[in-house]
Amino acid sequence: MAELKGRILAGKILVKPTAAEEKTSSGIIIPDTAKEKPQQGTVVMVGADKKDEPMEIKKGEVVLYGKYAGQELAINGEDYLLISQSDVLFIS
């Protein structure tokens, strides 16, 4: 993954979603049409604090987010998700 240049607006984070599962635990291959959209990813960039909301998420953390959260982006041929800090459900 190439180093991204630029910055994110306050209260937003850029996430690299994890890859969708290719097989079930029993070995059945999942077709593309039946794959679930990933709901977790690694934080790549973090915006500044908002005036009334400090940024609690740091670069490199793995986060879980809502199914329909954020905006999908393609940057340098890679898929990312731009979401608000408030859309994050869990930080691990």
Q: What is the DSSP letter of 76?
A: T
What integer pLDDT is reported at residue 23 of this predicted model? Answer: 67
Residue 61 pLDDT > 70: yes
What integer pLDDT is reported at residue 81 of this predicted model? Answer: 94
State the CB neighbour count (10 A cutoff) for residue 45: 17
Judge contact between 43 and 63, C-beta under 8 A.
Answer: yes
What integer pLDDT is reported at residue 56 of this predicted model? Answer: 93
What integer pLDDT is reported at residue 6 of this predicted model? Answer: 81
Q: What is the pTM of this model?
A: 0.81
Mean pLDDT of the chain: 85
At which residue do the structure tokens 């890859």 appear?
Answer: 19
pLDDT tens, residue by residue, 17-43 = 987 666 667 777 767 666 666 689 999
Structure tokens belonging to residue 19: 């890859």
Residue 55 pLDDT > 80: yes
State the CB neighbour count (10 A cutoff) for residue 15: 25
Judge contact between 22 and 32, C-beta under 8 A.
Answer: no
At which residue do the structure tokens 């934080």 appear?
Answer: 43
Domains and CATH numbers, the chain: 12-19+29-91 (2.30.33.40)
